[in-house]
Structure 1
Amino acid sequence: MQPPLAGLTRKNLVTELLAGVTLLAIAIPLNIGYAQIAGLPATAGLYALIVPTVIYALVVSSRQLVASPDAAAAALVASSIGGLAAAGSAGYATMALAQAIICGVMFVLLAVFKLGFLANFLSKPILVGFVGGLALDILVSQIAKMLGVHIDSGGEFVEKIGGLITGLPTLNLWSLAISVVGVAILLLGRRLLPFVPWALVVLVLATVVVVVAALDQQGVDVLGEVPAGAPAVTWPMLDWMQWLALIPSAIALTLVTTAEGLLVSRSYGEKRHYKTRPNRDLFAFGLSNIAAGAQGSFAVGSSTSRTAAMDQAGSRTQLPSIVLAVGTLLLLLFGTALLADIPSPAIGAIVGVAILPLLGIKDFRRLWRMDRFEFAIGATCFLVTLFIGSIPGILVAFVLALINLAKRAASPAIDVLAADDKPGESLLDDAPAGTVTAPGVIVVRMAAPLFFANGDVFSQAVKAAVTSPGEGVVRHLVVDMEAVTDADVTAAEAFDSLKEWLADHHVSLAFSRLRPQSRERLQALGILADETIYPTNRAAVAALATVRE
């Protein structure tokens, strides 16, 4: 087991500490914005940066992944709890805590039972569509904030669009000016000096302007008073029906975080040459989320953007996360007065720019070029998430994943080698290009396990090969079993029908290259009976070529 803060040495201590300061400057404004997206007070976003961050940093195997609430998680919290309680109410906040705890328990169970592979069902198109739908919903709320237009942030997407359009006559010019300047600084600054914490710069400049010009009296919304003090230990008190109502959204949060978190963790581990342990990372997410729910925060996931920023800053350990936690605690203890006059349009600009990449425009264009079916999956998930809701979105995502899986499994590659094969199509072991089988013998190989989705497909392919006019009279069939690692009852029944058909057409059946670990399973299903099993295709063809009619 690796020690906490693995990779930290005297040589990189200063670099890691400076990266921590950068992370602090990035995380404070973003987490305030994400808390507002979730319909929670600013403290909920800041509390997530203290105890949950420390626990995660000390337990996780990844040396670089940064854990924090992110835009997608915040939007999912708002959309899922918004239908159960009024945003801003005590019951709403209590449900957000309970949701985080349920997520934590699910992460721990995934780690204990090593079920992280379930997140693999969320393929790239599904993640792009799901997160993109959430991001566009967030963006509408942030645009309203940037314009000084008040809309129901907990409403449906269509309602938000309608509220934004009808509220345009109430647009506040000062809010618009702050937003435009803020967006310009963020976009240009990122290109010119990418290592500068431009979000903090925008926040400080906008706050100074609001205070000096008293713009809050001109209709510019400000954050308001932020309670001082460290987070306190608490526990959400809900009845069991309310706990059950939160489970579907907690499942969605857990799966999305698992898919994204493990992928980012593995990619940086490979990039920087250190090992990661997926189940330990899931366990770290679990403890972090339980801590978040027990001390006034909401669901914690992985932050791809902050992880990338730390990598660019030269960080290779979790020390920056510890610095972030200490800095946030000091801010809550001694500096909350500095937060009261932060203008909401500046927060909207920061969050809006941060979530632009989540819209997935580049990813959708790439999917369109590469695979139209995958594009359709992503687009469907995007539209369902946007217009129906996040929970239906994640359900549709899983259905689409299963459809995609079944579609591919039902059309496996099936190779046929016969006497008139073209050069280069040989299935014979170690055979030179152009080698063919003996007359009357064909070799068939399916590059997939046999199961209900492809059992009949395989049978039809074999029948077509046997009866093909170009093959001559086929008397012997060899099935190459190298890729058949498993089978099910439905496929076994289809294979029984195929055997009867072969017998009726006076075609003998043999197998070759059977995997030893698959033999018992195939025998139990009756796929392997009295047929001869050859070690190689070449041996099978040679033996059958000597058989006389």
Structure 2
Amino acid sequence: MQKPLAGLSRRNVFRELTAGVTLLAIAIPLNIGYAQIAGLPPTAGLYALIVPTIVYALLVSSRQLIVSPDAAAAALVASSIGGLATAGSADYSTLALAQAIICGILFVLMAVFKLGFIANFLSKPILVGFVGGLALDILVSQIAKMLGVKIDSGGEFTDKVVGLVTGLGTLNPWSALIAALSVAVLVVGQRFLRRVPWALIVLVVATVAVVLTGLVDAGVDVLGEVPAGPPTLTWPVIDWSMWLMLVPSAIALTMVTTAEGLLVSRAYGDKRDYSTRPNRDLFAFGAANIAAGASGSFAMGSSTSRTAAMDQAGSRTQLPSLVLAVGTLLLLLFGTALLADIPSPAIGAIVGVAILPLLGIGDFRMLWRADRFEFAIAAACFLVTLFIGSIAGIVVAFVLALVNLAKRAANPPIDVLAAGDSPAESLLGEAAIGTVTAPGVVVVRLAAPLFFANGSVFADAVKKAAKAEPEGSVRHVVIDMEAVTDVDVTGAESFATLVEWLEARGIELGFSRVRSDARARLTELGLLGEHRVFDTNRAAITALAGAPQTQRDS
């Protein structure tokens, strides 16, 4: 079993500690902002950096993946709980704790039953559309915060847009100025000096400016008092009906985190040459979320941006996460007074710049060029998430994933490798065929399992290949089975119908290159029967065409 803090040594401990300080500077302002997105007090974001972070760092197999609430998770929390309780109320916070615990239980169950593969249904187009819709919804709220315009941040997207537009007459010029300067510093700074903690610098400078100039009296909103003290262990007490109402949103949070978290974990493991264990990572996510729900925080996910920042800083262990936890605890014990005067426009600017990449503009452009159907999937997820809600968005995402899967499975590659009197040219690059005259022989290859979605499609393709030759000239059809790994009952029935069609026209059926692992299944379903089976396509062609047989029938 991999030890905690794998990869840590005397040679890199100083670099890891330094990276931890950088992570602290990045995480604190972002988590305050994400807590506000979720409709929770700033402490909920800061508590996430202590107990849940420690639990995750000690359990996870990935040496680099950073756990934390992120913008997408925060938006999901707000959209799913907003209809059940008023944001900022005690009931709302209790529901957020319960939601995190449900997420944790789901992660643990996925780890125990090794169900991480389910997240593969969230393909890139689905994630792009789903996360992009959440990001745009967040962005509208942050723009309002940057301009000093009051809107209902827990409302529907259209209500937020209407509130922002109609409220522009109440714009606070000082808030807009702070936000504009903050955005400029963040964008320019991250472009040229990425390792500098610009978010922390923006918060410090903006806070000092607000305090020295008395801009609070001019209408600039500030964070306000943050309760001091460490997180305390708690447990949400709610009715069972409320627990059940939180399950759909918890499933959505779990699926999105699983898809993104395991992908990023594996990518950095491959990049830095160490192994990761997906099911152990799922268990770590589960333990972290349960810890979050039991210590006053909310649902935890993976942070791609912070993981990338730590990689750039040279970190290759989970030690920076432990430094982050200790630093945040010290801040809550001794430094909460420093947080009270942080201007809300600066927080809005930090969160707004952080979520801009999540809009996926470049990804949408790429999908438009590469595959219009997948672009349509992304666009549908985007619009449903934006205008109907996150839960509807994740449901549509899974439905579209199944539609996309069925569409591709129902149209597998089917190649005619040899037909009639034409030279047999292998599309598989099988040199053994070379150029062989094959009078009366048609060789067809199915490059997929034969099952309910493509059985009739394959049968129609074989019939079409036979009909393409002069009437009565085709005497043999050979099915190249090299790529057929499995056959289901529906596929077998379609195949039986094809056999009857061929026999009615006096066409003999044969098979070539049948996989050993598929032979038993084919025999069980009665597909092989008395039909001849050949080792190679060349053996089939030469034998059936009447040429000297160079290879024996198997």
User: What range describes the TM-score normalised by the shorter chain of this pair?
Assistant: over 0.9
Amino acid in the other structure paired with 2:432: A
Task: Evaluate the alpha carbon distance shift between residue 411 and residue 111 of structure 1 in structure 2; reply closer, same or farther with a 3 A threshold.
Answer: same
Corresponding residue for 1:430? 431
Give distance in 2, aligned partners of 1:421 and 1:25: 70
CA-CA distance at 1:455 after TM superposition: 0.5
Structure 2 residue matching 1:509: 3-state secondary structure: strand
Amino acid in the other structure paired with 1:146: M
Are the counterparts in 1 of residues 19 and 310 from structure 2 also a CA contact under 8 Å? yes
Q: CA RMSD in A?
A: 1.5
Give distance in 2, aligned partners of 1:432 and 1:323: 64
CA-CA distance at 1:420 after TM superposition: 4.0
CA-CA distance at 1:471 after TM superposition: 8.4
Structure 1 residue matching 2:102: 3-state secondary structure: helix
Give distance in 1, aligned partners of 2:427 and 2:15: 58
Amino acid in the other structure paired with 1:252: A
Give distance in 1, aligned partners of 2:525 and 2:115: 28
Are the counterparts in 2 of residues 418 and 436 from structure 1 also a CA contact under 8 Å? no
Structure 2 unaligned spans of 5+:
549-554
Amino acid in the other structure paired with 1:397: A
Corresponding residue for 1:510? 510
Are the counterparts in 2 of residues 428 and 537 from structure 1 also a CA contact under 8 Å? no
Query: TM-score by structure 1 length?
Result: 0.97
CA-CA distance at 1:423 after TM superposition: 7.2
Are the counterparts in 2 of residues 97 and 296 from structure 1 also a CA contact under 8 Å? yes
Corresponding residue for 1:104? 104
CA-CA distance at 1:465 after TM superposition: 1.0
Matches within 5 A, 1:51-450: 51-416=51-416, 417-421=418-422, 424-425=425-426, 429-431=430-432, 433=434, 435-450=435-450
Structure 1 unaligned spans of 5+:
none
Amino acid in the other structure paired with 1:352: G
Give distance in 2, aligned partners of 1:424 and 1:496: 28
CA-CA distance at 1:541 after TM superposition: 2.3
- What per-residue deviation string (whole Å, max 9, x for no partner) do you get for residues 148-189 of structure 1? 011101000000001111111111111111101100110111
CA-CA distance at 1:422 after TM superposition: 5.5
Structure 2 residue matching 1:539: 3-state secondary structure: helix
Are the counterparts in 2 of residues 427 and 537 from structure 1 also a CA contact under 8 Å? no
CA-CA distance at 1:542 after TM superposition: 2.7
Are the counterparts in 2 of residues 81 and 96 from structure 1 also a CA contact under 8 Å? yes
Are the counterparts in 1 of residues 423 and 437 from structure 2 also a CA contact under 8 Å? no
Task: Evaluate the alpha carbon distance shift between residue 430 and residue 208 of structure 1 in structure 2; reply closer, same or farther with a 3 A threshold.
Answer: same
Amino acid in the other structure paired with 2:128: V
Structure 1 residue matching 2:96: 3-state secondary structure: helix
Amino acid in the other structure paired with 2:419: A
Structure 1 residue matching 2:265: 3-state secondary structure: helix
Are the counterparts in 1 of residues 50 and 324 from structure 2 also a CA contact under 8 Å? yes
Task: Evaluate the alpha carbon distance shift between residue 56 and residue 230 of structure 1 in structure 2; reply closer, same or farther with a 3 A threshold.
Answer: same
Give distance in 2, aligned partners of 1:432 and 1:10: 61
- What per-residue deviation string (whole Å, max 9, x for no partner) do you get for residues 44-89 of structure 1? 0000000110111111111111000000000000001111111111
Corresponding residue for 2:552? none
Q: Is residue 22 from structure 1 mapped to residue 22 from structure 2 by the alignment?
A: yes
Give distance in 2, aligned partners of 1:378 and 1:104: 28
Task: Evaluate the alpha carbon distance shift between residue 288 and residue 475 of structure 1 in structure 2; reply closer, same or farther with a 3 A threshold.
Answer: same
> Which runs of 4 or more aligned residues in structure 1 lie more than 4 Å from their structure 2 counterparts after TM superposition?
426-429
Are the counterparts in 1 of residues 420 and 474 from structure 2 also a CA contact under 8 Å? no
Amino acid in the other structure paired with 2:274: Y
- What per-residue deviation string (whole Å, max 9, x for no partner) do you get for residues 9-54 of structure 1? 1111111000000000000000000000000000000000001101
Corresponding residue for 2:551? none
Give distance in 1, aligned partners of 2:447 and 2:515: 13
Q: Is residue 539 from structure 1 mapped to residue 531 from structure 2 by the alignment?
A: no
Structure 2 residue matching 1:298: 3-state secondary structure: coil
Identity between Structure 1 and Structure 2 (%): 74
Are the counterparts in 1 of residues 48 and 68 from structure 2 also a CA contact under 8 Å? yes
Give distance in 2, aligned partners of 1:308 and 1:427: 40
Task: Evaluate the alpha carbon distance shift between residue 471 and residue 270 of structure 1 in structure 2; reply closer, same or farther with a 3 A threshold.
Answer: farther
Give distance in 2, aligned partners of 1:364 and 1:156: 24
CA-CA distance at 1:532 after TM superposition: 2.1
Are the counterparts in 2 of residues 426 and 436 from structure 1 also a CA contact under 8 Å? no
Amino acid in the other structure paired with 1:310: M
Structure 1 residue matching 2:517: 3-state secondary structure: helix
